Amino acid sequence: MAREFMFLAFSLSCVAIYMSISFLSGWKDNSTAVKPEFANFHITQRVDETSTNRMSLTQTGYHPTAQSNVTKLVPASLPTCGRPVTNFVFIKVHKTASGSTFMVLARFGRNHGMTICYPKRHRKAIHNQLSYPSGKLTKSDCRPSPGRKYNLIIHHSVMNKPAMDRVMEPGTKYIGIFREPLNHFRSIFFWKNKISRRNKNPLGAFLNRNHDRKRSYSKHHNFQAYTMGFPKRLMASKNESQIYETIRTIAGWYSVVLITEYWEESLVLLRRKFCWRLYDILHTTDRLHALHTKKEHIPLTTEQKQNHRKMSNIDYMMYDYLNKTFWQRVTNEGPEFWEEVKYYKTLNSEVNKHCNSVGGKRVFPAGKWSQEFVIDSTFCEEWKWKEGRWALACWDVVGKQNEETK
């Protein structure tokens, strides 16, 4: 009898514990706040690697239908990351969205008190040039920074890793940018070239002449590869194996290479690799240096396209390699990468909308991919700055550092 009583008591205890756990679990689930819809996107589609029009540079993603959806967001734990990278060189290649990238990186440099290697020569500073086009660089080419090496280069420079390593702090990371060569040719051709615009199809006429293939490089001929560090002595090489191995070596110098056609996706990859915040890669959606001519988009014949491929063969080989590497790295990030991209585009769109209309102070609450941050009238005023003003802001940091040193 006693044994049966003990068994009954034990059974009742188990039932009581089970009901307590069920009650607590149910209470916890019912208290979860609703996140905004754009924070819950999980994109699992595979991206076709051969497409050249996956996403527009100005695509901003889903817009929340109501402000209340955003303010109800409960802070979630962000993915763990190490110490943010605050020591880098950006190789600024003409006509590759490098101006927009320049402003993102300059803002980061100013906000983190980085010591910029600012062009010492006034003429180069005006044109945002440092070691372009020669590639030569010494500490004397930078505005003085007594007692310190530099940890930021963002002006137009030709990649010269040994020289830059001597100027920069140890452990410098390198960021590159590359654009699909034919798109790059279309854009750079009309850059400060008003005379050629008189022809009905100046692009086609130029490619029909095909007159600068004998040069080692030019603005229309392997220009991106040269700026990214491909040596001039190998520009005329017919040895594809040698060219390919050189491209592999150059690609290894860079921690991240942004791809212009997927610029915002590239910024998210940069944020992840450099342990930055989404706040650090917010950007204005106003286009820089936009060309207002339809001639840039005139169709080219198959022969004209082939002529350009022959003229810029190294640019094409380098783009193919860097583009493939980029998508391999994106794939390695997993499907949550696309969730973050969608979140980022929507967050950036809301920041732009606020600064371009309402202005003033606004709190953006934390989410899975972003810490809470506040923007105000000063932020929105700086949002409208162009490259030159951001460059001066970085130089002001060095000026204050020099005063503190004195």
Rounded CA-CA distance 277/372 in Å is: 10
- 190 belongs to a structural domain: yes
Structural domain boundaries enclosing 282: 76-337+390-405
Rounded Cα distance, 394 and 86, in Å: 13
Residue 10 lies in a domain: no
The type of residue at 152 is L
- Domain assignment of residue 227, yes or no: yes
Reading the block at residue 171, the tokens are 């452990």
Residues 128-136, mean pLDDT to the nearest whole number: 93
How buried is residue 336: exposed, middle or buried, by Cβ count under 10 Å (0-12/13-18/19+)? middle
Please tell me whether the overall predicted TM-score, pTM, comes out greater than 0.75 for this model.
Answer: yes
In a domain, 38, yes or no: no
Structure-token pair, residue 178: 């590359």
Q: Is residue 327 part of a domain?
A: yes
Average pLDDT over residues 324-349: 97
Q: Mapping DSSP to helix (H, G, I), strand (E, B) and coil, where does residue 152 land? A: strand
CA distance 356 to 300: 38
Please count the structural domains in the chain.
Answer: 1
The DSSP annotation for 26-49 comes to HHHHHTPPPPPGGGG----PPP-T
Name the band, by pLDDT with cuts 50, 70 and 90, for residue 157.
Answer: very high
The rounded distance, in Å, linking the Cα atoms of 158 and 110 is 23
Instruction: Report the CATH number that the domain containing residue 211 is assigned in CATH.
Output: 3.40.50
Whether residue 27 lies inside any domain: the answer is no
Quickly state the pLDDT bin for 289 (edges 50, 70, 90). Answer: low
Helices assigned H by DSSP within 233-293? 240-251, 263-274
> Is 200 part of a structural domain of the chain?
yes
Q: Which two tokens stand for residue 259?
A: 């791809």
Task: Output 211 or 99, whichever has higher pLDDT.
Answer: 99
Distance of CA 70 to the CA centre of its chain: 25
Task: Label residue 312 by pLDDT band (50, 70, 90).
Answer: very high
363 is a domain residue: no
